[in-house]
């Protein structure tokens, strides 16, 4: 009996199986997590390129938001689906059809129009409530329109208030133009935008983990119950947490709703994990600004 116990104690059969069972889950998560992180980085680079394309379209087409969104969407197509063929082809590995650039474009365009209609509808409601409350003292309606569009563009410079009453020449370089000094005109004619792309995480399991980690890192620190408060080295105590604005609170809830899956108005959908990517770009105008094109909606 002692020899049997001793032989059993020294036997290493199954050791590799146990080690594999312990290491395989961690290695699998490491691989799929790396793939998803690389895809996020690719989407971030493409978002910066999309901001350039949107700004380029805007400075040529009088800040036409439709042209800017189309330029950004075309630049972002490689992050949304296959674009290596025109009408698609059959994938020999999966024995199914792979979409082409036309199908990817139509799906992205449809989603862009749908989400921007929702965003513009909420923006119209916000504008109506703000106008309604303007004549009532003590009542202030904060901005609450969430950036839920597939691609959203916020005009940072110029704004409606920056423009003179008359049309401002884009090539004003000296003296004054329409009563505006040339230095001011050059600043007004410098288009600056903030582009936001709601990128969908697609790698299973890694998408949920990275989405939850991103929510905790970006939004969790700004809540009152955050775990890691921001500390200013020049102060003797931890700075007070910043509350989320109403717009940010709505955006967080929309992201959580999409990630939870379930039923909305009778439509059942699987969890959708989104990660907003934002970037800014600026460029000097090459055509006159049209005041009507500075609206937030098409």
- Per-residue model confidence as pLDDT tens digits over 233-244: 554 555 555 577
Lowest mean per-residue pLDDT among 132-141, 226-235, 241-250, 267-276: 226-235
Domain encompassing residue 66: 36-221+245-294
Cβ(199)–Cβ(214) under 8 Å? no
| Domain count within the chain | 1
Cβ(167)–Cβ(178) under 8 Å? yes
Q: Is residue 92 part of a domain?
A: yes
97: tokens are 């059809």
More confident residue, 175 or 101: 101
Q: Is residue 13 part of a domain?
A: no
Q: Is residue 60 part of a domain?
A: yes
> 171 CB contacts (<8 Å, ≥6 apart)?
none
pTM reported for the whole predicted model: 0.79
Q: Is residue 215 part of a domain?
A: yes
Q: Is residue 214 part of a domain?
A: yes
Q: Evaluate the CA torsion angle 35, 36, 38, 39 in order and state its sign.
A: positive
Give the distance between the most distant pair of CA atoms in the chain: 105
Q: Is residue 16 part of a domain?
A: no
More confident residue, 59 or 2: 59
* pLDDT score recorded for residue 107: 92
Cβ(237)–Cβ(159) under 8 Å? no
Q: Select from 243, 221, 80, 210 the least CA-distant residue to 151.
A: 80
Return the CA Rg of the chain.
Answer: 26
* pLDDT score recorded for residue 196: 93
Q: Is residue 25 part of a domain?
A: no
- Per-residue model confidence as pLDDT tens digits over 23-77: 888 888 888 889 999 999 999 999 999 999 999 999 999 889 899 999 999 999 9
136: tokens are 């009532």
Beta bridge partners, 91, equal 96
Q: Is residue 26 part of a domain?
A: no
DSSP 131-175: HHHHTSTT----------SSEEEEEEES-GGGS-SSPPPTT--SS
> Exposed, middle or buried, 239 (CB in 10 Å: 0-12/13-18/19+)?
exposed
């Amino acid at each position: 009996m002692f020899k049997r116990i001793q032989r059993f104690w020294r036997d290493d059969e199954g050791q590799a199986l146990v080690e594999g069972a312990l290491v395989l889950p961690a290695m699998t998560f490491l691989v799929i997590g790396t793939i998803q992180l690389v895809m996020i980085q690719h989407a971030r680079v493409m978002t910066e390129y999309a901001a350039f394309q949107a700004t380029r379209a805007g400075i040529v087409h009088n800040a036409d938001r439709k042209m800017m969104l189309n330029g950004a969407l075309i630049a972002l197509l490689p992050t949304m689906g296959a674009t290596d063929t025109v009408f698609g082809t059959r994938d020999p590995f999966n024995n199914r059809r792979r979409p082409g650039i036309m199908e990817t474009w139509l799906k992205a365009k449809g989603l862009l129009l749908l989400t921007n209609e929702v965003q513009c509808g909420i923006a119209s409601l916000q504008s109506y409530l703000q106008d309604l409350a303007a004549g009532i003292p003590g009542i202030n309606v904060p901005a609450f329109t969430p950036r839920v569009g597939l691609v959203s563009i916020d005009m940072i410079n110029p704004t409606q208030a920056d423009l003179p009453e008359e049309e401002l020449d884009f090539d004003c370089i000296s003296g004054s133009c329409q009563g505006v000094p040339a230095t001011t005109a050059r600043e007004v004619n410098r288009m600056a935008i903030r582009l936001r792309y709601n990128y969908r995480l697609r790698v299973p399991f890694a998408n949920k983990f990275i989405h939850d980690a991103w929510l905790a890192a970006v939004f969790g620190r700004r809540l009152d119950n955050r775990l890691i408060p921001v500390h200013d080295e020049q102060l003797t105590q931890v700075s007070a947490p910043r509350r989320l604005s109403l717009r940010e609170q709505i955006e967080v809830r929309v992201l959580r709703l999409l990630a939870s899956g379930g039923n909305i108005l009778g439509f059942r959908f699987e969890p959708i994990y989104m990660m907003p990517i934002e970037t800014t770009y600026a460029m000097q105008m090459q055509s006159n600004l049209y005041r009507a094109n500075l609206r937030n909606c098409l």
